Structure 1
């Protein structure tokens, strides 16, 4: 997907086919996705699936959520993606069942190698477990995995994977500040 060794000042970082696919998605996003009424979750799920997203049942993706590449998106059952979120999924973003990404949160799967001669673009997946809550305006960077039940506090910066389940993390960079009570049996059938 990402071209290697190119000069980004003179040539694109992606193949023509990839750029055309993204342009088609951008048109569909602007005309049909973003303008859809808030309760039309099934319609937006249909559009995302049409572009290759793998979605569970009962997914709520709101119309002002920005999704860079639906074909790199995997959402479990009953996941909520709020208005104003950015899923910059140059690589796979996988979000487990019953997880919530709140307003203004960003999951960023791409960056640049600032030490390379050509400022090489690269991407790594982001994987969130089940029952994860990424609070408002938090930022999760590429290559991060977050265990089940973790809460990432508002405006937190997550640059490293969080392996301890059912914990609460906040700050810049995010660090553990507490434990979360596990109530999964009440939420899952």
Structure 2
């Protein structure tokens, strides 16, 4: 298997691989253009995002500055919005449903590293997919960790660190995140 195939399969891979490095560089160039495009140029920004992401709904908007690793592994539904300084590390698939909103400074991280120090020191890593259902609202400075799935109508409180999956219709918060209350 190539390092790309290993990455997408959730196996250990070397991110320093030449192909992966060139893919990230190409993505950075696209992000430079997106982030330099005036916020008032909605059509142009939408075109750039549609070219960057694996799939999108018709309506989406992301404030600058936005950062991701590859772009191709990000799939967002209809009516998607992300506020300033969103980071999506998309070494694995990131699927975001319809009508989702992301507040400023949110991190969505699929990439992770081995716990074993010797193995980690080699530079090897792996990635786990993240899925956000429809109608999710992710509060400012929240972090969504590798492998997390959130159901529909989930609200993530500001500053939460989401380390495990949650079902539909809940407000979660804290570090690590836990259910605070049901969505009524």
Quick check: TM above 0.5? yes
| In structure 2, distance between residues paired with 1:108 and 1:156 | 14
Which blocks of at least 5 consecutive residues in structure 2 are unaligned? none
Matched, 1:54 2:55: yes
Which residue of structure 2 aligns with residue 184 of structure 1? none
Query: Does the aligned pair in 1 maintain the 2:69–2:91 contact within 8 Å?
Result: yes
Number of aligned positions between the proteins: 174
Deviation, 1:65, is 1.8
Report which of the two structures shows the higher radius of gyration computed on alpha carbons.
1
| In structure 2, distance between residues paired with 1:147 and 1:174 | 14
Deviation, 1:89, is 0.9
User: Could you say what secondary structure the match of 2:95 adopts?
Assistant: strand
Matched, 1:157 2:158: no
Matched, 1:168 2:156: no
TM-score, length of structure 1 as denominator length: 0.84
Which residue of structure 1 aligns with residue 25 of structure 2? 23
Q: CA offsets, 1:111-144, max 9 Å, x none?
A: 1012164313000110000000110000110000
Mapping for residues 88-167 of structure 1, pairs under 5 Å: 88-115=89-116, 117-119=118-120, 120-163=124-167, 165-167=168-170
Distance 1:140 1:5, change over 3 A: closer
Matched, 1:177 2:161: no
| In structure 1, distance between residues paired with 2:141 and 2:94 | 17
Deviation, 1:5, is 7.1
Deviation, 1:14, is 4.0
Deviation, 1:66, is 1.4
Query: Does the aligned pair in 2 maintain the 1:95–1:127 contact within 8 Å?
Result: yes
| In structure 1, distance between residues paired with 2:42 and 2:91 | 24
Deviation, 1:61, is 1.5
Which blocks of at least 5 consecutive residues in structure 1 are unaligned? 7-11, 182-189
TM-score, length of structure 2 as denominator length: 0.87
Deviation, 1:157, is 0.7
Q: Which runs of 4+ in 1 moved over 3 A?
A: 2-6
| In structure 1, distance between residues paired with 2:147 and 2:23 | 24
